[in-house]
Amino acid sequence: MEKRVVFQARWLPWLLLLPQLAVIGVFFFWPAAQALIQSVQTEDPFGLRREFAGLQNFERLWQSESYLASFKTTALFSALVAFFGIAIALALATFADRILRGATAYRTLLILPYAVAPVVAGVLWMFMFSPSIGVLSWLLTQMGFDWNHLIHSGHAMALIVMAAVWKQISYNFLFFLAGLQSVPKSLIEAAAIDGAGPWRRFWSIQFPLLSPTTFFLLVINVVYAFFDTFAIVDATTQGGPGQSTNILVYKVYHDGFKNLDLGGSAAQSVVLMVIVIALTVVQFRYVEKKVNY
Amino acid sequence: MIENRPFLTFISHAVMWLGVLLVAFPLYLAFVASTHLPQDIVQAPMPLLPGAHLWESYQAALFGTGPLAGDKPPVAHMMIVSFVTAMVIALGKIAISLLSAFAVVYFRFPLRTLCFWAIFVTLMLPVEVRILPTYKVVADLGMLNSYAGLTIPLIASATATFLFRQFFLTVPDELAEAARMDGAGPMRFFKDILLPLSKTSMAALFVIQFIYGWNQYLWPLLATTSESMYPIVLGIRSMLGSSGESMVAWNLVMATAILAMIPPAIVVILMQKWFVKGLVDTEK
């Protein structure tokens, strides 16, 4: 789609674009190019010498057990976050869609976590599950379950998944609610007249019609789990215990800033870049074609 | 309502209550903790009803004064840093995206498509994938520990540019034609016609971007080293420190957490209509 009516000016459009182009040039493309270059170089920790190293950094990554473990951790983490985030939000949205009275009040409360910073979400959940003082961990202990996310890696993973899902429910909920409200009422009424109960109607009509929304949210939630959960991990587990919650984004920060492994960190950045590009492409292909029945 | 099923309606409300409980319980607990003395909190299980030390906790957290004050820097200043940062990021994103969308929609010039794609591609380059080099650029420019360093690198926005472009494309051509006939130049048209028409989109974007700016964590962590430039979300992290959990002044941490939530929560609740619209539109 293009405008038929345009203005004639030689320099004005460039002037208008200048601020945006300057910012993306200096803070996006230049650093991204640097990351690409550094990923094929090795540098000593003092930054004195740099040598071309080919794909050595990448080879080192693939041979590094901690990197592969971090990959698996991230995959598991994002799968859990996406699954629970979507399932809980879908259940809430489906019931919210049935409710006539008080719907606005429920919605207002349910969207609150969106406003909460990831690091605050992390702190709140850590506080509830802290082995020594947490209310919920105390409750678990009373029930005979020994919760300690500082020792047990499974518990640590569960903790960051809970905090991440809690924060993401609002977002998923709003999209599902919008999706459900655009399902034609006539379809549901026709099914009801034919004798289909609410359960049947959900699985045969609403759920299939929501599949574009679900697919879209799946991509968004994976992106969220990959890239926006740094603060949650940093506030709660800091990648531990051991390496059990060391997700890729946390590792790239840690290796670069704490261990000063520039080449390795740059190579990790490049791998992450490839992942974002892949996810963005999936998302935009979906926007064009939509998943449809 | 398709049919009247009282039991199902009851279940629906029960599920919603469960959802609200799940969402609100952590927030409630944070509030309760912020009203007790630290020694009451560390005695598991902590009390589940608000205590009597609300004012002292918030006074200590905000200004570092009063009977409960610890050795941590006051949060009031961090909130100012957060507020300025969030406002500059939100308004800056809206401003430069409006200008670039106007340029790519209403002008024809060489490399126009390339410019648009260059902006669009930044979607695929979040801070997380270019951490170190971006840090280096900002350090070389001497922008560490400054508002410029906290905001300018985050001010580019592919989503906002895209949103405004989509919106401008739906503005009837007749308006631009009429403006041209009346002798209005492009900037006059932009200021007097396009800007007033874009108000809704601007409000929607503002909500999303304000929250985005307020909740930034990784970038300030890199770009600030002095506590005087810490935004509040970093302040919370530094309060936890690496000391043992029983050493943490949980009442102050939770008071800070509540303070960190209030501004974005107010924006979301008061501008709920724009917020939902903004969320759905920016993802189209």
Alpha-carbon Rg for chain A, nearest whole angstrom, is 24
Whether A242 and A153 have beta carbons less than 8 Å apart is answered as yes
Q: Which helix (H) or strand (E) holds A43?
A: strand A41-43
Report the run of H or E that residue A52 belongs to, with start and end.
strand A50-52
CATH code, domain carrying B177: 1.10.3720.10
A270 domain residue, yes or no: yes
Query: So what's the pLDDT on residue A252?
Result: 87
Q: Which residue out of B85, B124, B256 would a mutagenesis test of the A interface target, given it has the greatest number of A Cβ atoms within 10 Å?
A: B124
User: Residue B34 corresponds to which tokens in the numbers above?
Assistant: 């912020």
Nearest chain A residue to B264, by CA: A115
Size of interface A-B (CB pairs under 8 A): 299
Q: Which of residues 31-60 of B touch A (CB under 8 A)?
A: 33, 41-46, 48
Rounded Cα distance between B39 and B69, Å, is 14
The letter for the amino acid at A101 is R
Q: Which of residues 107-126 of B touch A (CB under 8 A)?
A: 107-109, 112, 115, 118-119, 122-126
Q: Which of A100, A135, A256 sits opposite B45 (nearest CB)?
A: A135
The residue with tokens 């531990």 is A240
Of B130, B54, B234, B255, the C-alpha closest to A273 is B130
Structural element, H or E, at residue A153: helix A153-181
Of A96, A127, A138, the CB nearest to B16: A96
pLDDT tens-place string over residues B252-272:
889 999 999 999 999 988 888
Both tokens of residue A41?
């170089």
Cα–Cα distance for residue pair A7/A227, rounded to 1 Å: 41
**pLDDT score, position A288:** 52
Helix spans in B141-191 (H): 147-151, 158-170, 173-181, 186-189
Residue of A15, A20, A221 to mutate, interface with B, max B Cβ within 10 Å: A20
pLDDT band at B48 (very low <50, low <70, confident <90, very high): confident
Tell me the per-residue pLDDT of B14-36, one tens digit each, with 9 for 90 and over: 999 999 999 999 999 999 988 88
Alpha carbon distance B284, B187 (integer Å): 28
CB contact under 8 A, B132 and A256: yes
B7 CB within 8 Å of a chain A CB = no
The CA-atom distances, in angstroms, between B28 and each of A181, B32, B236 are 31, 6, 18
Asked if B261's CB is within 8 angstroms of A117's CB, the reply is yes
Please indicate whether, in this complex, the C-beta atoms of A127 and B250 are within 8 angstroms of each other: yes
Residue A96 lies in a domain: yes
Residue B107's SS3 state is: strand
Domain membership of residue B94 as a residue range = 76-223
Contacts of A137 in chain B (CB under 8 A): 44
Place of tokens 């059990």: A244
Give the closest residue to A246 by CA, choosing from A157, A167, A162, A159.
Answer: A157
Name which of B13, B237, B265 is nearest A112 (Cβ-Cβ). B265
Residue A127 distance to chain B (closest CA, Å): 8
Task: Find the DSSP H helices in A51-143.
Answer: 56-63, 65-98, 103-110, 112-115, 118-129, 135-142
On whether residue A202 sits in a domain, the answer given is yes
Q: Enter the tokens of residue A87.
A: 């399932």
Question: Domain range holding A283?
Answer: 57-289
Residue B282 and residue B205: Cα distance in Å, rounded?
8
CA B184 from centre of chain:
37
The alpha-carbon gap from A264 to the nearest alpha carbon of chain B, in Å, equals 11
Q: How far apart, in whole angstroms, are the C-alpha atoms of residue A265 and residue B40?
A: 44
Q: What is the pLDDT along chain A (293 residues), one digit of tens a residue?
A: 577 778 888 889 999 999 999 999 999 999 888 888 888 877 666 666 777 777 888 888 888 888 899 989 999 999 999 999 999 999 999 998 888 777 788 888 898 999 999 999 999 999 999 888 888 988 888 888 888 888 888 899 999 999 999 999 999 999 998 888 888 888 888 998 988 888 898 998 899 989 888 988 998 899 899 888 999 998 888 887 888 888 988 988 888 877 777 778 888 888 888 888 888 888 777 655 554 44
Chain A residues near residue B156 by CB distance under 8 angstroms: 20, 23-24, 27-28
**ipTM of the shown complex:** 0.88
The model's confidence at residue B163, banded by pLDDT at 50, 70 and 90, is confident
- Compute the average pLDDT of residues B188-214: 91
Q: Is A9 on the interface with B (CB under 8 A)?
A: yes
Quote the distance between the C-alpha of residue A15 and its chain's center. Answer: 36
d(CA B139, CA B137): 5
Q: Which of B158, B153, B146, B161 has the alpha carbon at shortest distance from B131?
A: B153
Model confidence at B282, in pLDDT bands (50, 70, 90)?
low
* AA identity, residue B210: F
- Residue A3 backbone phi and psi in degrees, to 5: -80, 140
B217 shares contact with chain A (CB less than 8 Å): yes
Of B186, B257, B268, the CB nearest to A123: B257
Which residue in the set A1, A111, A124 is minimally distant from B268, CB to CB? A111
CATH number of the domain within which A208 lies: 1.10.3720.10
Q: Read off the pLDDT of residues B69-81 as tens digits, 9 standing for 90 and up.
A: 777 778 898 999 9
pLDDT recorded at residue A293: 42
Residue A11 within a domain: no
pLDDT one-digit tens code per residue, B213-242: 999 998 998 888 888 889 999 888 888 865
Q: Examine residue A32 and state whether it is found in any structural domain, yes or no.
A: no
Pairwise CA distance, residues B220 & A233, whole Å:
16
CA-closest candidate to residue A249, choices B227, B219, B274: B219
How many domains, chain A? Answer: 1
Q: Which of residues 26-55 of A touch B (CB under 8 A)?
A: 26-32, 34-35, 38
B97 contacts A20? CB cut-off 8 A: yes
Q: Which of B23, B114, B270 to mutate to test the interface with A (most CBs of A within 10 A)?
A: B23
Task: Report the residue from A112, A133, A280 with minimal CB separation from B27.
Answer: A112
Q: Is residue A29 part of a domain?
A: no
Among B246, A125, A155, A238, which Cα is nearest to A147's? Answer: A155
pLDDT digits (tens, 9 = 90+) for B110-162: 888 888 888 888 877 888 778 888 888 999 998 889 899 899 988 988 888 98
**Amino acid at position B122, single letter:** T
Q: What is the number of domains present in chain B? A: 1
pLDDT at A48: 67
- Contact in structure between A171 and A219 (CB atoms under 8 Å): no
Strand partners, A41: A52
Q: Do B268 and A249 touch (CB under 8 A)?
A: no
Q: Which two tokens stand for residue B17?
A: 């209550």
User: Which residue in the set B12, B128, B240 is minimally distant from A95, CB to CB?
Assistant: B12
Which of A128, A192, A227 lies at the smallest CB-CB distance from B26?
Answer: A128
Residues 6+ apart with CB under 8 A from A179: A93, A209, A210, A212, A213
